[in-house]
Amino acid sequence: MEVLGKIFGSPHRVKVMRLFLSHETTPFDIDDIVTRTRSKKADVRKEINMLTNIGLLKKKTFSTKVPKKTKKKNAQPEFRTVKKQGWILNTQFSLVRPLQILLVDSELIDEKDIVKRIKRAGPVKLLILSGLFVRDNNRHVDVLVVGNKLKKDVLYRELSVIESEIGRELTYAFFDQAEFEYRMSMYDKLVRDVLENDHKRLVNKIIT
């Protein structure tokens, strides 16, 4: 991200571009972009205005469902449809494909950075990247983490940061070592789906 940030002018620009380039047909409003990129609203507005001016993005009015407010406790959620003002990728922009090759199809993030972030949650026994990270959209898990006494709140936080940098939502699974080994012995479908298909082992302290 640091190198791309220098090339493109700022890390915020890279995050915003990756978000739209990864979701060609999905419109986003300002609040959604801020949340997904974990950036300040002022920084997002600046980058959106620039990307709209050069033609990479275009304004889009779209409908979305939001939960209705209710004072009832434990009530089933109800939704209403609202219109929002946002932006969408201009797929006719001449440099869309070259930008996708550079920002989406290339290595999404430094693997050493992923290891560093995940280890903040505690001692990691096994860290596997699958799915999105090996260009396989048929897998059910992108990140599999095994470790004892891992801090789940830290894992969620660090994975959220990774999501903001790559512009995509991740699917992940966490297990302690005993549960993972039990699932292995029972030929658990989720675990086998990861291990028997293309994947990358960034931390490998368990015999599988």
Which pLDDT score is estimated for 78? Answer: 78
pLDDT at 90 over 80: yes
Average pLDDT, the chain: 90
* Confidence band of 135 (pLDDT split at 50, 70, 90): confident
Which structure tokens are listed for 90?
A: 């201009």
Please report which residue ranges of 55-202 form alpha helices under DSSP H.
96-100, 111-118, 152-166, 177-185, 189-195
- The upper half-sphere exposure of residue 48, i.e. CA atoms within 13 Å in the direction of its Cβ, equals 25
pLDDT at 154 over 80: yes
Cβ–Cβ under 8 Å, residues 160 and 37: no
* Long-range contacts, stretch 114-118, CB < 8 angstroms, 24+ apart: 114/162, 114/202, 115/202, 115/203, 117/158, 117/159, 117/161, 117/162, 118/143, 118/145, 118/155, 118/158, 118/203
pLDDT at 77 over 80: no
pLDDT at 3 over 70: no
Strands, E, within 36-189: which ranges? 57-67, 79-89, 126-129, 143-146, 172-175
Q: How many CB atoms are located within 10 Å of the residue 173 CB?
A: 18
Cβ–Cβ under 8 Å, residues 138 and 194: no
Of 28 and 165, the structure prediction assigns the larger pLDDT to 28
Which structure tokens are listed for 41?
A: 């609203």
Which pLDDT score is estimated for 27? Answer: 96
Which pLDDT score is estimated for 59? Answer: 97
Mean pLDDT of 142-151: 96
Pairwise CA distance, residues 72 & 70, whole Å? 5
Which pLDDT score is estimated for 7? Answer: 58
User: What percentage of residues in the chain have a pLDDT greater than 70?
Assistant: 94
Strand 143-146 to strand 126-129: parallel, antiparallel, or no bridges (unpaired)?
Answer: antiparallel
Mean pLDDT of 110-123: 94
pLDDT at 137 over 70: yes
Domains of the chain: 2-105 (1.10.10.10), 111-204 (3.30.460)
Mean pLDDT of 59-86: 83
Query: What is the CA angle 167-173-174, rounded to 5?
Result: 120
- pLDDT tens for 166-208 read 888 999 999 999 999 999 999 999 999 999 999 999 999 987 7
